[in-house]
Amino acid sequence: MIPPEPVLTVRGQDAPSAGPHGAAGRPTADGSARRPAVGVYRWAVLLTALPLLYTLSSGMWKASFPISETVSILADAGVLQDTSASSHSLRDPRLASIFNPATRSWYRPFYWMTWYGFWHATHSLEATLRLFRVLEVLTVVLLIGGFLWHLDVDSFPRYAAALLALAVLVGMPGFRENLEIPLPMTLVGMALALGVWAVLEREHRSWHGFAIVAMTAVAVGFKEQGLVLVPVVVGAWWAGAPGIRRHTALATVVLTVAYLAMRFGTAGSWSPFEQSVGLGFAQVPASDAVARFGAFPYGIYLYNASATVANVLFSEPGDGVFRYIRAGLDGRLRPWAIVEVLTSTTSSALLVWWAVRTWRRDRSVGWTRESRLLLALVLALGATGALGFNYARDRLGGMAVVFYALASYDAVAAATGSLREGGVRRFACVVALLVMLSAGWQLRAVVTADYPRLGALRSHREWIATRQHQRLAHDSGAWQMVFAAMESQGLALPPRRVIPETWQRWLGPD
Amino acid sequence: MGAPALPPSPRACRAAALAVAAPAIIAACILGWWDLRLARPDREPAQSIAFVDALRENRIEPAFERIRAGQDVNAPVVVRDRRLTGGDDVRVRPLLIAVAYGMDDSVKMLMSSGATLEVPGNRLALCLARQLGQTKIAAILVQDGGPTAESSPCPEVSHPGAPLKDYLE
């Protein structure tokens, strides 16, 4: 298939899109001539986002590493088997194990490699944990900062749209659930997805091809969900994105085919269900799922994929379970559930309006930046669903969340831009809708900002309550040594929650 | 149908954008204010809740802070409860209090913090858990307490309305 040529590219942007990134001097979606004020509004939006970023980062920085999760990760990364950190060579069998796809069903070599690298670089568990914290916080800062920087905010209406889009990015379950320490794999993938998209949409440079392939490979190496980037990259090339050439798309496809061949070739006899499966109103344990659906798992795979996509679009079901509907039927629906479902559903409806508008406008002129973003969103949602076939979890939607938030920015900008198209009544309705949407998403963003602190309290509680049990459950000397080394950070006072106690029962998921 | 509606003015559109941005600006201010509030060293002192109250409410964080501050995890403390002590003051070990109130996290925290079933009063913790039907806690005691948990004979039930009185030393 031959990709259609871009209609007109100015500084890597297509002219007819008249989107938020329209070329200098051209009319923008809100009808006003573009003013050379990108710097002012860009910094204004970053400044407004600063408290959110600080609260999130400081919570993540101060939270302790949980007991069992961290120690088992250290085992997977070969740290536990090499507590002296002495043998460091490329022939280290522990290193080979990290990259061996047959060792475990989850294949995240770059994630384990990060632990391995920190451990061998510092020879200190304390320093390793600190470096890992730096990685986690840096990922969040890069994702949020990069997101806002990429938007090229150049006017006050776009400033408003950018703040709403940021709240969408941060308030989605696909972002919130990936803040869990020490599991930032999808967050890394999300930051890389943003990086790839930024490169794809900029005027082509010689290094673009390497950057796109490398970022995609790193995202896949951190977690399988990174594969979401493959259809996005190929789709962007097909739709004439200015930053990519045919050989880059081809290289991405070849590497992906090789990766999939390696994974399927070493799959062995994996169980059809790795974890419990949410179905309807309850979770089905993995063993029960094997017994019930093992002979023909494709129906439940389709359900899981649909549930993953629906979670991105509607915040329901969560983990494959229709928890809010269940709560409503039981008469225990909390206001928070209404906020989540209403804001997500309204945002998705707004995106549909924007999609139809973009498609109608651009079908006669060919692909534009906005229609490519629409395509990327559809592809990312589809790929996210497909990769969530085995079990649905809120965190699995993370990769699609980036494109959902980017599209939300364009949709809100288009909505504010269309205010002058109708009469006063339409104006009032659209403004009321956008203000309610903005308020709802900001509430969700505030809850997310508090989320790492909530996790820190849970982790601290686990530390102080289960140490005896953990000590007795593991007789390995290395395990005991690592456990003892981590104990002081686990028992240290956790950061206080940002949301005052009186508000806590109203805000946030159960 | 009335006259065609006039489009809103550019000024109205800017006001609309401000209205959309307002929740974000308010949220930023609130978060900034809350962050400043957290920066003040006014953390609730662990001493503001009594050790016994923390144990029987499963508030293990302040209870643990008290232990870190010097509270002896095996030393008897005074408790009074209409259902468990008949409304009288009774001195028992903290572990027995956590068991009596069915607070499994408190039990686990005490066991993790040095409460041992070697201590005379604590030896009967499993008996108390079984007497009160605390099966989950009984399992924790067996698991975390080792062989000592099962080794002591249980006392006669002589205070059915005040079970903790049967476990006085």
In Å, how far are A99, A203, A238 from A245, measured between CA atoms? Answer: 30, 11, 10
The predicted pLDDT at position A483 comes to 86
CA distances (Å), origin B92, targets A285, A356, B167: 42, 72, 7
Q: Tokens 């809850």 belong to which residue?
A: A447
Q: How confident is the model at residue A33 (pLDDT cuts 50, 70, 90)?
A: very low
Beta bridge partners of B90: B79
Six token digits for residue A323: 């928890």
Percent of chain B with pLDDT over 70: 91
Q: What is the DSSP letter of B169?
A: -
Cα end-to-end span (Å), chain B: 91
Which residue is closest to B34 within chain A, CA to CA?
Answer: A498
Beta bridge partners of residue B91, listed in sequence order: B78
Q: Of A32-41, A84-93, A94-103, A153-162, where does mean pLDDT reach its minimum?
A: A32-41
| A504 in contact with B, Cβ within 8 Å | no
Our CA-based measurement puts residue A149 at a distance from the nearest CA of chain B, in whole angstroms, of: 17
Q: Which of residues 89-108 of B touch A (CB under 8 A)?
A: 105, 108
pLDDT in tens, A399-446: 999 999 999 999 999 998 888 777 888 888 999 999 999 999 999 999
Residues 42-81 on A with a CB inside 8 Å of B are: 48-52, 54-55, 58
* Closest by Cα among B114, B119, B121 to B144: B114
Q: What is d(CA A39, CA B59) in angstroms, rounded to the nearest whole number?
A: 50
Share the mean pLDDT of chain B. 86
Query: Among candidates A55, A179, A63, which has minimal Cα distance to A130?
Result: A63
Contact B29, A53 (CB under 8 A): no
Of the candidate ranges A89-93, A240-244, A284-288, B93-97, the one whose mean pLDDT is the lowest: A89-93
A35 interface with B at CB cutoff 8 Å: no
Q: Is A10 helix (H, G, I), strand (E, B) or coil?
A: strand
Q: Note whether B118 contacts A: Cβ–Cβ < 8 A.
A: no
CA distance A178 to A111: 14
A412 touches B at CB < 8 Å: yes
Q: Which residue of A has its CA nearest to B39?
A: A496
The number of C-alpha atoms within 13 Å of A1 and in the hemisphere containing its C-beta is 9
Task: Tell me which of A76 and A169 has the higher pLDDT.
Answer: A169
Question: If DSSP codes are grouped into helix, strand and coil, which group holds residue B77?
Answer: strand
Q: How many CB pairs under 8 A join A and B?
A: 147
ipTM score: 0.86
Rounded percentage of chain A residues whose pLDDT exceeds 70:
91
Mean pLDDT lowest among A201-210, A419-428, A450-459 = A419-428
**Closest alpha carbon to A486 in A453, A462, A454, A510:** A462
Nearest to B165 by CA among B113, B128, B119, B137: B128
A155-171 in b/e form (b: 16+ CB < 10 A) is bbbbbbbbbbbbbbbbb
**What's the confidence (pLDDT) of residue A7?**
36
Q: How far is CA B146 from CA A66, A440, B116, in A?
A: 25, 52, 10
CB of A446 closer than 8 Å to CB of A50:
no
Residue in B20, B59, B111, B137 to test binding to A, most A beta-carbons within 10 Å: B20
Place of tokens 């509004």: A41
Asked whether the predicted pLDDT for residue B42 surpasses 70, the reply is no
Q: Residue B4: which pLDDT band, with cuts at 50, 70 and 90?
A: low
Q: What mean pLDDT comes out for the span A311-323?
A: 95
Give me the residues paired with residue A321 across strands. Answer: A318
Which residue type, as a one-letter code, is found at position A18?
A
Residue A188 pLDDT > 70, yes or no?
yes
> Is the model's pLDDT at A313 over the cut of 90?
yes
b/e per residue B96-121 (b: at least 16 CB within 10 A): bbbbbbbbbbbbbbbbbbebbbebeb
Q: In this complex, is the C-beta atom of B160 within 8 Å of any C-beta atom belonging to chain A?
A: no
Of B12, B23, B113, the CB nearest to A427: B12
Q: Are B81 and B87 in contact (CB under 8 A)?
A: yes
At A85 the pLDDT is 66
pLDDT tens digits for range A246-270: 999 999 999 999 999 999 888 766 7
CA distances from A391 to A92, A283, A313, A321, A394 (A): 34, 10, 17, 11, 10
Binning pLDDT at 50, 70 and 90, where does residue A284 land?
very high
pLDDT tens by residue, B122-155: 888 999 999 999 999 999 998 888 777 777 788 8
Chain B contact present for A443, CB below 8 A = yes
